[in-house]
Amino acid sequence: MESKELNLFDCLSWDLLNNNEFQDSTLQQKTTIRNISKQPKNRRSKKDKLFSTPDNLSDALVKDQNKLIHLDPVPIFRERSEIKPWLQKIFFPQGIDLVIERSDSSKVIFKCKANPNRTCKSESTSRCPFRIRATFSIKLQKWNIVVVNNIHSHKCKFNPNSEEYKKFKKYLKDNNDIDTIKLFEEFEYKFKFNLPIFKPNVIKCDCGLTKEISLFNNIVLPINKPSKESLLLTKTKKITKKSTLTNNSNSTSHSNNNKIKIKTENFIDFNTNANLLNNNQSFGDDVTNLNEIDFTNMFKLEEKEPESLSIENFEFETSNNDILSEFIDFNDDDNTKTVSTESELNDLSYFLNVDLVNDPVNMKDLDSIATPNEFIEFGL
Amino acid sequence: MESKELNLFDCLSWDLLNNNEFQDSTLQQKTTIRNISKQPKNRRSKKDKLFSTPDNLSDALVKDQNKLIHLDPVPIFRERSEIKPWLQKIFFPQGIDLVIERSDSSKVIFKCKANPNRTCKSESTSRCPFRIRATFSIKLQKWNIVVVNNIHSHKCKFNPNSEEYKKFKKYLKDNNDIDTIKLFEEFEYKFKFNLPIFKPNVIKCDCGLTKEISLFNNIVLPINKPSKESLLLTKTKKITKKSTLTNNSNSTSHSNNNKIKIKTENFIDFNTNANLLNNNQSFGDDVTNLNEIDFTNMFKLEEKEPESLSIENFEFETSNNDILSEFIDFNDDDNTKTVSTESELNDLSYFLNVDLVNDPVNMKDLDSIATPNEFIEFGL
DNA sequence: TAATGGGTGCACT
DNA sequence: AAGTGCACCCATT
Ligand SMILES: [Zn+2]
Ligand SMILES: [Zn+2]
């Protein structure tokens, strides 16, 4: 069966995956994904794996229940302990905090780190079905890595203060992986100040539906038919941001022209980033403790050029509009209502979003933009 | 609050708990139990612990829901890793295979080793509520050990082939704990040939209701009111043994005079001991593999003196007859019916029985009785 | 290290 | 009776 390759990881800095100890001959090509759909069994034994082509991928992802995304190629890992940091390089920027669920000498199963959501138990990451399975193939003498359930029970937010991320950075430091350290310094910096993280050429589309983005979008599309609410969740998020810019909080104002306004909305977001507010440790000890600052009405809004799209825009623009049109009622009242109950939704979050919840920025932080590398320290 | 002490562990060989590396000044006295009942809270904060006296213990155990049994004193453990083998010395002879559920520097929680019961899921030890909690008291600079839920979801059978027991024996060997090794060699030997294990003076009662046994019986009594079936389970077991002695298997014969006959029943039991039959490893490599032997009608029955009571008799005789009379219908048909469905019972086993399921013995095994210490090897 | 799925002991957090 | 990250296991095919 033919297996065309999708440039999933073009959206990440490829150098990240291709340097230092992970560098080897298998990485002459780019890591790609193959879509593997579970099909009815030939006999009565094992699940068949189909390597779907990009052409039928979109349909398959929407219709079929269980999808496997095969990462290939992967480096030649000397020890299985090298797999986790390699995956973390890919999935931390996706807002996914990986931990090992189970492992032995020939297998490592990864899942989302448990992070109980006190406000909404069903959104706890403890029950998240997302899995990455790495198995060592004896025949091929290499590790196969497959994303098993590309679904999350929660929103995927990058948390630079998580223990896993600290251990990851320590690993990079211990291995003297300078290039990756620099890349994640840059990533943290851009994340903190809500700068675009994906390379501009990846999001170079003007309509949000170029080939690359369409393919990437296929991958992050819902595996099950998305519910109206789950789709609204992504869209109305922008509206919330929009409204908070003018009303600052709990606004019920709305826009009748979402798509236009989203492209020009400001990056600064007054929504609370619970992760940051609950954790004193930020980039370093010399950083002002965000806990002790009242951010209300103290921020200057930075003007943004349309061609430099934010992650938030990227999320929205790359949504499959055909599907959206099937389910979304653009009635404004519906939109605002969904926003108000966002945290209590019981639905699974069907999007593998890079859900960069923008955190508040004060003037001192903005001052440090000029010297990010000094500022961002990789302590621990 | 006064706390009288109950000689729970008189029924075990006390030397077992009081030798070698566990020997220290705190063991000049015998380890005793204090019954701690959870009472309505004084304020609204923590659960109060009541140290009940032996006088009210019997009532409290039957009426109250949650019971804590405090073991005191315990040795001065140099490391927390010493706690588990100390507890194993106590609980292996009780047929309880302990594993650590959770531990840190100041706490160790023990539970029954998970052993999925394929025939009856509710009887799996995986869900057994029995817990032993060891916590280090900073004030007293000693470990406190409390049995938290003296209830099991399964029958407690000693399994000399379990991995935990092998590790336990290895620990004894590594620590050169010769005395304990000898004690458990003796225990294994007596268990294997269904000889009485508890010291005769502990079961010295002629009616089964001496003070000592009465107190011990209080401790192992059901915390919740026992169901009719759970009580019948213990009683009818004797009948099964009785009947198998004559009918060999699946007998529906019964006795109209249980109490009398039990005292004189034979020790040899034809009931299958699944643990032994499923595991080739017994006392040593030179032991005949019991798997490959047909035991049907090939055993000689050993005559037993009434004063040397078996464990099985002990179980029955120490049952609280007042409670039994409340629930048990001595109708013979009922008894035999319960026996036939014994393994499918969904009820919790409310008795902390030393449930020594007797395993088949062949003539060769009986020959080796003369030289048990040669025969019983502590391999691994 | 046949491939593939899951159980669980237990110390870290 | 903390919840969970992780590895040592085992089961099935
Ligand atoms: Zn997840
Ligand atoms: Zn138990």
pLDDT in tens, B178-232: 999 999 999 999 999 999 876 543 333 333 333 332 222 223 322 233 332 322 2
Alpha-carbon distance of A121 to A83, in angstroms, equals 30
Nucleotide nearest to B106 (CA to C1'): C11
Task: Point out the ligand nearest to the CA of residue B349.
Answer: 2
Winning range, highest mean pLDDT, from A259-273, B67-81, B116-130, B224-238: B67-81
Measure CA to C1' and name the residue nearest D4. Answer: A114
**pLDDT at residue B33 is higher than 50:** yes
pLDDT at B182: 97
> What is the pLDDT of chain B when averaged over all its residues?
52
Alpha-carbon distance of B54 to B52, in angstroms, equals 7
Alpha-carbon distance of B368 to B17, in angstroms, equals 29
For residue B145, the cross-strand partners are B71, B134
Residues in chain A: 380
Surrounding residues of ion ligand 2, Cβ less than 5 A: B 112, 128, 130, 152
A59 to each of A147, A327, A337, B285, how far by Cα in Å? 18, 17, 31, 62
pLDDT at A380: 28
**pLDDT at residue B156 is higher than 90:** yes
Confidence band (pLDDT; 50, 70, 90) for B77? very high
pLDDT at A34: 62
pLDDT at B372: 29
Task: Point out the ligand nearest to the CA of residue B132.
Answer: 2
The model's pLDDT over A95-122, given as tens digits with 9 standing for 90+, comes to 999 999 999 999 999 999 998 887 887 7
pLDDT at A168: 97
The model's pLDDT over A38-77, given as tens digits with 9 standing for 90+, comes to 433 333 333 334 343 333 333 333 334 357 899 998 999 9
Measure CA to C1' and name the residue nearest D2. Answer: B102
**Domain residue ranges of chain B, discontinuous segments joined by +:** 65-115+127-193
Does residue B99 approach strand C to less than 7 Å at its CB? yes
Question: By C-alpha distance, which of B352, B343, B320, B312 is closest to B152?
Answer: B352
Q: State what percent of residues in chain B have pLDDT above 70.
A: 34
pLDDT beneath 50, residues of chain A: 1-30, 38-65, 200-380
Nucleotide nearest to A105 (CA to C1'): C1
CA of B153 to the centre of ligand 2 (A): 6
A79 CA → C12 C1’, Å: 23
pLDDT at A364: 30
pLDDT at B67: 74
B273: left (phi over 0), alpha (psi -120 to 50) or beta: beta
**pLDDT at residue B323 is higher than 80:** no
Q: State what percent of residues in chain B have pLDDT above 90.
A: 30
A100 CA → D5 C1’, Å: 6
pLDDT at A173: 93
Q: DSSP state, A253?
A: -
pLDDT at A156: 94
Confidence band (pLDDT; 50, 70, 90) for B166? very high
Does residue B103 approach strand C to less than 7 Å at its CB? yes
CA of B128 to the centre of ligand 2 (A): 5
Look at the alpha carbons of A110, A115, A121, A123 in this order and tell me if their dihedral is positive or negative.
negative
Q: In this complex, which protein residues place their C-beta within 7 A of any atom belonging to strand D?
A: A 45, 81, 84, 99-105, 107-108, 111, 113-114, 116, 124, 126; B 101-102, 104, 107, 109, 129, 131, 133, 148-149
**pLDDT at residue B366 is higher than 70:** no
Measure CA to C1' and name the residue nearest C2. Answer: A138
List of residues 6+ apart from B303 with CB closer than 8 A: B266
Q: Which residue has the higher pLDDT, A39 or B32?
A: B32
Does residue A171 approach strand C to less than 7 Å at its CB? no
